[in-house]
Structure 1
Amino acid sequence: MPAIPIPTVTQARLIREQKDWSNVPTGPISWVLREDIFDPVTRTRRGRLYETDTTFAQPSSHRVVPHPYEDPFGRQEGAGGRTAKQLLVYKTCRSLLAEKKQGLGLTLALGDATAVSAWRIIQAEIDVTGCLMVTLKSLSAFGILPELDIAKVPSDLQKPSAQAFERVLNSAFRETSISVVDQCRNAMTLLMSAWLIAQGHDRSILAEDLGKVADVVGKAPFDKQALMLAAKIVARLHSRGKDNEKLSKGLRAPVDEDAEFAVEAVGFALRELGWAVG
């Protein structure tokens, strides 16, 4: 039977490692998400996940009830009120349930190679009809990171500052945790240094690492101690990405949640420096 109103159906691909981003779907033979609910406030989506049914040729011929939006006057109806259609056939995506923890915590890419977004699987269950219902949380850095007010950045530092900020946006939730933390550390170092120069500080600050820049920001006359502490945590996370640091000090490597913190810290820095738009 036709679905009314027509639901939003999006191609999907499970992201297990970074290289999977280069293999997002380019055609309809894949997983698909039929969206039931989207909440822009909590940035969550809930819907039914299906996978291609390989027991059928794709597409294959089926006799179905004509969709009223395509044939409002029933002109295509044949015997038994049905018409022949070439259709793609999908089934409940039980492949996800075969993943570790039934896929919870994994990333699902929605869209195709032209435009794709990242979502974390936070819940999965089978409903009474046998469909797999999944709840997804947006992993986009947009909405987390404010826009950089580039006009407030010293003119000679505007281009590198914009590029460093853009690299954070591009890496967030797509690259490894270590890489994301590294991009965040680089952006915070440059942006905080540029802010200090705009306040009249010596340009030699551009040669310092994030820990040193944080110390200057946290002391008089600036006294931005909350920003200093956030920056120092990002600096520590960055050092944990180095094998010699992990081995010599018995530290754990950064994980996705640490990378999320680093991205949030960049946004916090923009707000504390007064360089966030709005």
Structure 2
Amino acid sequence: MRGAAASALVLALGGIDDPEPPPPAVVPPAAAARGAAGAAALCGPRTVPEGAACVPLPAPGASLPEGGAAALSDPAGARPARAGTRGQAHEHIPRRPERPANAAAYMFPIGAPDAPPGFLLVEEAPAGAGALPAAGSVAAIGAARPEPPSWIGGIDIAATRGERVAALRLEGQEGKAEVVFVGALSGITVATAHDVREARDADRVRRYLLLHGHLDRPGPGVVAGARLDAGDVVGYAGETGSPGLVRLRLEARQIREGARIEELDPKRITDAAVTVPCDLRNVLPLRQGASL
């Protein structure tokens, strides 16, 4: 009897010491997280505020395919992360599902007006790769192909030296494009800013950059502040930054809300805090007769 009573007492005392499990963490929805004054969202663990949303951070070293399932709740559209060459994650805006996947549906700043240009697979040698130059050296070049190997982070378009690179009017663009940068970035680069009213959100105008890289030279009168109509000459194809390989590097980036690129060091326009890489198919103009 004494042994049974002692056991019961020990069990009772042990129950007193056991703490109750903590309640689960509550992450407020983005709309409820913001105050009336527009304060930053009160986001939960492994999330950061971005506009009116709590954007989840990717797991360290995570790798997702283009347009993968890990879409982030951002008003600008889904932004999955992809693994960088050195293990870091990079944000990008994938192709919207209503936009055509095939390159033949779009117009480009170079090539025949009735057909897409050829696209190159170009692998740049990493910095410090022996005797190779740290920038612009080509480790492998594939033959021109009808589709880009990847749309993430820009595309490489086959070109001939001195070939005319024309300004584009992006899908939903309002007004003329503005030249915001001319200088050394990806070789000689011209960056144009475009105000776009997207069909899915007609009350909102977003700003996009088009970066035209590896030019031989800018077009006549193409300086920061110049305004360009569709078809105006942005520059001429060359091999600056990629000796031995004539090509046009074309990249689209969405400017983050509140970022004013006019007030920044021009070379910071590709900083992740200022602009986000965007799948070109979201903004390139459609060819006549192409359907969504």
TM-score norm. by structure 2 comes to 0.28
Which structure shows the bigger proportion of residues in helix conformation?
1
TM-score norm. by structure 1 comes to 0.29
